[in-house]
Amino acid sequence: MKQILAEILTIGDEILYGQITDTNSQWISSELDQLGIKVVRKTTVGDTEEAILGAFAEAEARADMVLITGGLGPTNDDLTMPMLAQYFDSEIIMNESVLTHVKHFFESRGRTFTELNKRQALVPKVAEVLHNELGTAPGTWYERNGKVFVSMPGVPHEMKNLMKTLVLPKLASFFQTPVIYHKLIKTVGIGESFLADKIKDWEESLPEHISLAYLPSVGQVKLRLTAIGDNREHLKKDVQELIDELMPLAGSYIYGYDNTTLEEAVGQLLKAKGKTIALAESCSGGYVQHKITTIAGSSEYFQGGVVPYHNNHKVNLLGVKPATLEVHGAVSEACVKEMAEGARKLFNADIGASSSGIAGPGGGSEEKPVGTVWIAFADGKETITKKLQLTQNRLLNIELTQISVLNLVRKSLSR
């Protein structure tokens, strides 16, 4: 099968001068990659006629499709529409359906619809309009000699919505790309190379039409399965069978799929088990509680928590024994055990979890260097502890402690 090639063209001085980050082109690349379309070049040019027309011609010469973002505002700096009209030798017309949409868009938000706003409805006559339900600048689609140009707004959520609902399906149909089905498998608590080692035989036995990618981030590794074929339901079934085979090998590290976050997965587990939780965070400084409370509805299972940064609060609030601090210190198994049990009682929760460690850069010793962290889980029946040996970097240590605490709760609840 002939490889289908794409170029991505970003238009705007503000990106060229480093005033804003272009996150669009990575997202577009990754979506095209998942359709089996190969991006051969990304280009950013400024708001000048010469640069834009030059980039159009260069891209058309190299690729089967050119995906353009930006330069669609209503002011005179915004040149994408007039340049597309010129490039495709077309006059510009007022599109009535876009005009109605833009007018409604402004009026429904209580904003005045001005003459300037009207210009958002001016599109090249030769273009097919792609309705932008989330904004005022329409997408447009052009075909010539078997090649496709697509122009989209630069505002990320508008562009993404247009791509997902209209552009990607149209590209798949125009270029007759195969059906592609993806599944993200999200793991925590195991490094990339250890995971790869555990699932080596499974990975090697993957059928021809299904491929695997490792996507590591701080403290987590995502596995992406990509299946290519001609029937989505069959692919979905094939992938599910592979996940079923993966479970005995790595199931204990898997906390969710696709867009699920770790804090969401822990929340769902707590809800499913009908349990509430409380936190006592020393070195993670409230970050676990912050993560838990980013989830809408977390008040159903999150009772509350405490950050006893100074040791006397560990004693007064959580009932950590002064002798524990004296003999073992605050960064110790005994201390996090008493903290987790104390949090449980203080907040009248089913579960207590805790952290205490040396985030750095100061405070380390030979016996307990920077990066030494203890965490604990208590449910009233037993208390599980874990020692972490992390990094020299304070922010990374806080992040990794937060992930480890949530993962300890997840694993303990899943027993």
List contacts with a second copy (CB under 8 A): 10, 15-23, 25-33, 38-46, 51, 58, 215, 279, 281, 284-290, 292-294, 296-299, 302-310, 312-313, 317, 346-348, 359-362, 394-395, 398
Taking the complex as a whole, the smallest distance from the CB of residue 162 to a second copy amounts, in Å, to: 17
Tell the residue number behind the tokens 């300890």, with chain if given: 408
Give dist(CA 247, CA 276) in Å, integer. 28
Q: Which is nearer to a second copy, 194 or 309 (CB)?
A: 309
Tokens standing for residue 340: 């987790």
Q: Which is nearer to a second copy, 127 or 159 (CB)?
A: 159
Taking the complex as a whole, the smallest distance from the CB of residue 26 to a second copy amounts, in Å, to: 5
CA 320 to the chain's CA centroid: 39
Q: Which is nearer to a second copy, 126 or 266 (CB)?
A: 266
Q: Which residues of 249-272 are buried (b: 16+ CB within 10 A; e: fewer)?
A: ebeebbbbeeeebbbbbbbbbbee
Give dist(CA 51, CA 71) in Å, integer. 13
Does residue 180 sit in helix, strand or coil?
strand
Burial class (CB in 10 A: 0-12, 13-18, 19+), 393: middle
Pairing mode of beta strands 179-188, 128-130: unpaired
First to last CA, the chain: 48
Taking the complex as a whole, the smallest distance from the CB of residue 63 to a second copy amounts, in Å, to: 12
Q: Which is nearer to a second copy, 5 or 243 (CB)?
A: 5
Pairing mode of beta strands 277-281, 220-229: unpaired
Q: What are phi and psi of 316, to 5 degrees?
A: -65, -40
Q: Residue 235: what residue type?
A: L
Taking the complex as a whole, the smallest distance from the CB of residue 231 to a second copy amounts, in Å, to: 26
Taking the complex as a whole, the smallest distance from the CB of residue 165 to a second copy amounts, in Å, to: 19
Does residue 262 sit in helix, strand or coil?
helix
Q: Which of 314, 302, 184, 194 is nearest to 254 (CA)?
A: 184
Tokens standing for residue 327: 């003999």
Q: Which is nearer to a second copy, 32 or 188 (CB)?
A: 32
Taking the complex as a whole, the smallest distance from the CB of residue 6 to a second copy amounts, in Å, to: 10
Taking the complex as a whole, the smallest distance from the CB of residue 39 to a second copy amounts, in Å, to: 5
Does residue 207 sit in helix, strand or coil?
coil
Please, where are the H alpha helices in 109-231?
Answer: 115-118, 156-162, 168-174, 192-198, 200-204
Give dist(CA 413, CA 415) in Å, integer. 6
Taking the complex as a whole, the smallest distance from the CB of residue 91 to a second copy amounts, in Å, to: 29
Q: Which is nearer to a second copy, 7 or 379 (CB)?
A: 7
Q: Which is nearer to a second copy, 58 or 143 (CB)?
A: 58
Q: Which is nearer to a second copy, 257 or 309 (CB)?
A: 309
Q: Which is nearer to a second copy, 123 or 269 (CB)?
A: 269
Taking the complex as a whole, the smallest distance from the CB of residue 17 to a second copy amounts, in Å, to: 5
